[in-house]
Amino acid sequence: MTTDSAQVKAALRTQRIETPSWAYGNSGTRFKVFAQQGVPRTPQEKIDDAAQVHKYTGIAPTVALHIPWDKVDDYAALAQHARDRGVQVGAINSNVFQDDDYMLGSVTHPDPKVREKALNHLLECVDIMDETGSRDLKLWFSDGTNYPGQDDIRARQDRLAEALAAVYERLGDDQRFLLEYKLFEPAFYTTDLPDWGTSYAHCLKLGPKAQVVVDTGHHAPGTNIEFIVAFLLREGKLGGFDFNSRFYADDDLMVGAADPFQLYRIMDQVIQGGGYTDEIAFMLDQCHNIEPKIPGQIRSVLNVQEATAKALLIDIEALRAAQQAGDVLGANAVFMDAYNTDVRPLLAELRAEMGLDPDPMAAYARSGYFEKIRDGRKDGQAAGWGA
């Protein structure tokens, strides 16, 4: 391997991974939400927990909010609270999937009054971005139908396009929206934004402030996600990631847990495609239903860091030479050689250089923070996603 480890470490120092406020609250499946001890009761406490993840990893300086789960009276004060804890508010996530009015859709609903209500929420999210200084609005719609004939598929695309155009119009010069897609669920027959192509087509029409976000859990099994990443980057249309792992559907498990090799392949395409910059939002979108939440987030950040380190270690010159020569096995060997490298010593070294504990999981466990929140947050209502 010819890549200089100092270069790899320098690149890793610039990495930024955003954690989601909802990962710190209670969550579950449609069958049961298992309450955990020490769970935040307020958006401020979620930010406090996110700050712990940054404290031990050094690369998670922002936290995404979800509205209305993180609704507060004063968003500028919330942003200040974050800065006081050494982190910042990141993307604002809209929520038009948990109101009774949205049973048949939000921005694609047949009733214009419901569409208007949903659009107003999206615009309110941009108002919040103005106050928090957030760059990105993440849009995910649960809209779709369950039965053939239930609604007009094309009319729903028109309604979607209309709402997206109105949001686009409202964005400030330094703001963008990231349009998410998802194969299915909660709608089972049609989903109005089911795949990257649909999201891409809507974004392309609107302009540079509309970008596609790839949630790694939102594809059919076997989908080649790194190809999607490569294509979108090439077109200048990749805005970011919602990282998580899946075995079956939208499992929201810890990124890199189910398929670390896939995460490595994705990070390789990010790096080769020039996407390893702040222009791409690297976010986690996960829920920790059975594992402790803060350690779950730390583990996830470390998993992304590990995959990135391996991807940075690829001997690109040797890879290109093998590719040019048509040396299929040689090229694959170079690719696998980097993947099979144990990067843990290099990462421990990097952390020591950054003034961090080489073992973030152990350092957090030793810190006593969990005992503090377990005892200090006994009263009041634990935050949760309230499905």
- The one of ligand RM4, Mn ion, none whose footprint includes residue 93, by CB under 5 to 8 A per kind, is ligand RM4
Return the residue nearest ligand RM4 (CB atom).
140
Rounded to an integer, what distance in angstroms lies between the CA atom of residue 356 and that of residue 348? 9
- What are the angstrom distances between the C-alpha of 269 and each of 148, 189, 233, 262, 342? 38, 32, 9, 11, 20
Distance CA 109, CA 121 (A): 14
**Contact string (CB under 6 A) for ligand RM4, positions 322-341, x = contact:** --------------------
Nearest distance in Å: CB 217, ligand RM4? 7
- Work out the number of other CB atoms within 10 angstroms of the CB of residue 141: 26
Out of Mn ion, ligand RM4, none, which partner does residue 192 contact, by CB within 5 to 8 A per kind?
Answer: none
Closest of 193, 194, 45, 171 to residue 108, by C-alpha: 193
Residue list 257-286, contact with ligand RM4 (CB under 6 A): 285
DSSP H or E segment with residue 3:
none
Element (H, E) at 386: none
- The correct pick among 143, 226, 268, 285 for binding Mn ion (CB under 5 A) is 285
Q: Indicate which single residue of 36, 93, 145, 175 sits in contact with ligand RM4 (rule: CB under 6 A).
A: 93
Q: What's the burial of 250, exposed, middle or buried (CB within 10 Å: 0-12/13-18/19+)?
A: middle
- Measured from the CB of residue 140, what is the shortest distance to ligand RM4 in angstroms? 4
Q: Which is nearer to ligand RM4, 139 or 319 (CB)?
A: 139
Q: Spell out the residues 6+ positions from residue 374 whose beta carbon is closer than 8 angstroms to its own.
A: 37, 38
- Residue 250 binds: one of ligand RM4, Mn ion, none (C-beta under 5 to 8 A by kind): ligand RM4
Stretch that binds Mn ion, among 68-76, 236-244, 301-309, 360-368 (CB under 5 A): 236-244
Q: Which does 177 bind (CB under 5 to 8 A by kind): Mn ion, ligand RM4, none?
A: none
Q: How far is CA 120 from CA 117, 163, 176, in A?
A: 5, 10, 17
* Phi, psi of 178, deg, nearest 5: -110, 115
Q: How far is the CB of 295 from ligand RM4 (least distance, A)?
A: 21
**DSSP-assigned letters across all residues of 213-261:** EEETTSS-TT--HHHHHHHHHHTT-EEEEEE-B-SSSS--BPTTTS-HH
Min. distance of Cβ 242 from Mn ion in angstroms?
A: 3
- Contact flag: residue 143 with ligand RM4 (CB under 6 A): no
CB of 185 to ligand RM4, least distance (A): 8
**C-alpha triplet 196, 201, 205: angle, nearest 5°:** 145
> Any contact of residue 192 with ligand RM4 (CB under 6 A)?
no
Helix (H, G, I), strand (E, B) or coil at 165: helix
Using the minimum distance from each CB to ligand RM4, give the nearer residue, 49 or 285: 285
Task: Kindly state the smallest distance separating residue 357's Cβ from ligand RM4, in Å.
Answer: 31
Which position has the token pair 């170079």? 334
Give the residue, chosen from 180, 226, 268, 306, that forms a contact with ligand RM4 under the rule CB under 6 A.
Answer: 180
Answer yes or no whether residue 242 interacts with ligand RM4 by CB under 6 A: yes
Among 215, 226, 306, 357, binds Mn ion (CB under 5 A): 215
DSSP code, position 286: -
In whole angstroms, how close is the CB of 74 to ligand RM4 at the nearest point? 23
Supply the minimum distance, in Å, between the C-beta of residue 100 and ligand RM4: 18
The binding site for ligand RM4 (CB under 6 A) comprises 66, 93, 140, 180, 182, 215, 242, 250, 285
The binding site for Mn ion (CB under 5 A) comprises 215, 242, 285
